[in-house]
Amino acid sequence: FLQVASPVPQGPNKWHEQFPIAKGQRQSPIDIVTSNAKVDKALSDNPLKVSYSNNCCQSVTNTGASFQVVVDGAGTEISGGPLDSTYKLVQFHAHWGPLGGDEGSEHTVDGVTYPAELHLVHWNQKYKDVGEAVDKPDGLAVIGVFFSRGKEHAGFKPISDLFAKVPRKADKVDISFNYDPACLLPARRDYWTYLGSLTTPPLFESVTWIVMKDPVEVSAEQLAALRNLLWETPSGEGQMCNNYRPPQPLQGRLVRST
């Protein structure tokens, strides 16, 4: 019998063959050159407002490319800062590198990488649902938080402890406890912001990026827990790692800063 294996996902360098927008004018991630970022007083005059509830998280899934905490969106709104309307949290996930390595983040800061980067994905409430918002120029807002290796992050532990329960693609476990994703944000709320894209196919140029300046510390064990997630590799099933897209051309875009 013909065994038709599911095709192993292609790496970022080949995405343009199926998604020509990969070579577009507002692709993400980017290297944030701090000396070129422009402080915009308007961002501080209208501070980014993050109001999440602590019972919004429904489940954790292994998507085959990351973990994804699915959120029901009720009462999980952000507004202000670079945003012209209210956006609702729909999911959060992360990107990371090899065990013990320092690469893994998608955005870099003056060429510096972090071992991982968390993405909190929100959609513009002017659209009827995330499916309608996902390919509109103002459709999504993603908050990026760098993870650095250090002491254990108590707030991330309830989530990182679940990864061992979802080892394979499409595995899913319900979140029965109260959880407020705002605990994953750094205390200091300064950020860089620019117009970009999804960092995975379909790479839609629909994201207002809000990249927090300060990393949050997580332990080496919590970073290692990310590798309890498995995915398909050319030589069969293996630890999920290096699921990050490298920085893309800035194409003359302005990065603003608080």
Ligand X SMILES: NS(=O)(=O)c1ccc(S(=O)(=O)NCc2cccs2)s1
CA distance 209 to 241: 23
User: Among ligand X, Zn ion, none, what binds residue 121 when CB lies within 5 to 8 Å by partner kind?
Assistant: ligand X
Here's the x/- map for ligand X, 203-222, by CB under 6 A: it reads as ----x---------------
* 107 within 8 A of 29, measured Cβ to Cβ: yes
Which SS3 state, helix, strand or coil, does residue 234 take?
coil
Examine residue 199 and tell whether it contacts ligand X (CB under 6 A): yes
CA distance 121 to 110: 24
User: Among Zn ion, ligand X, none, what binds residue 101 when CB lies within 5 to 8 Å by partner kind?
Assistant: none
Site for ligand X in 84-113 (CB under 6 A): 91
Which SS3 state, helix, strand or coil, does residue 45 take?
helix
Q: Burial, 182: exposed, middle or buried (Cβ in 10 Å; 0-12, 13-18, 19+)? A: middle
* Cβ at position 202, least distance to ligand X in Å: 5
- Going by the DSSP 8-state scheme, the letter that residue 55 receives in this structure is B
Examine residue 226 and tell whether it contacts ligand X (CB under 6 A): no
Near ligand X by CB under 6 A, which window of 37-45, 172-180, 200-208, 229-237?
200-208
Hey, what are 210's tokens?
A: 């809000």
* Cβ at position 235, least distance to ligand X in Å: 26
Closest to ligand X by CB, 79 vs 200, is 200
> How many residues of this chain interact with ligand X, rule: CB under 6 A?
11
Residue type, 82: P
Examine residue 200 and tell whether it contacts ligand X (CB under 6 A): yes
Closest to ligand X by CB, 135 vs 180, is 135
